[in-house]
């Protein structure tokens, strides 16, 4: 028995200062941030209960960190999920201010 492939997408909602992950078009979670004078402080990551356990926080956080890198923005990792991701993926440590 095979599980139906899911369409996962991450977008940056600048107006709400968050990155949003959707699964098959349904919002599944977000990583929010506060803007500093020269950095982005990731302060909260949420995956909705019905989507937990599917490994969605990793692509969400990766997308958000890649966006910061491409934009030349330093980051603070006040959110434990973001801090944990960076600890497991040291290639993002240079982004920390």
The rounded distance, in Å, linking the Cα atoms of 45 and 40 is 14
CATH class belonging to 8-95: alpha beta
5-51 pLDDT, tens digit each: 589 999 999 999 999 999 999 999 999 999 988 899 999 999 999 99
Closest CA to 44 of 90, 79, 15, 94: 79
pLDDT score of 4 more than 80: no
Domain boundaries, the chain: 8-95
């Amino acid at each position: 028995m095979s599980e139906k492939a899911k369409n996962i997408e991450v977008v940056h909602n600048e107006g709400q200062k968050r990155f949003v992950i959707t699964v098959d078009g349904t919002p599944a979670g977000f990583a929010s941030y506060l803007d500093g004078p020269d950095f982005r402080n990731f302060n909260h990551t949420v995956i909705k209960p019905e989507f937990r356990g599917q490994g969605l926080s990793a692509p969400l956080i990766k997308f958000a960190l890649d966006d910061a890198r491409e934009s030349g923005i330093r980051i603070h990792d006040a959110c434990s999920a973001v801090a944990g991701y960076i600890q497991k993926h040291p290639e993002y440590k240079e982004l920390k201010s």
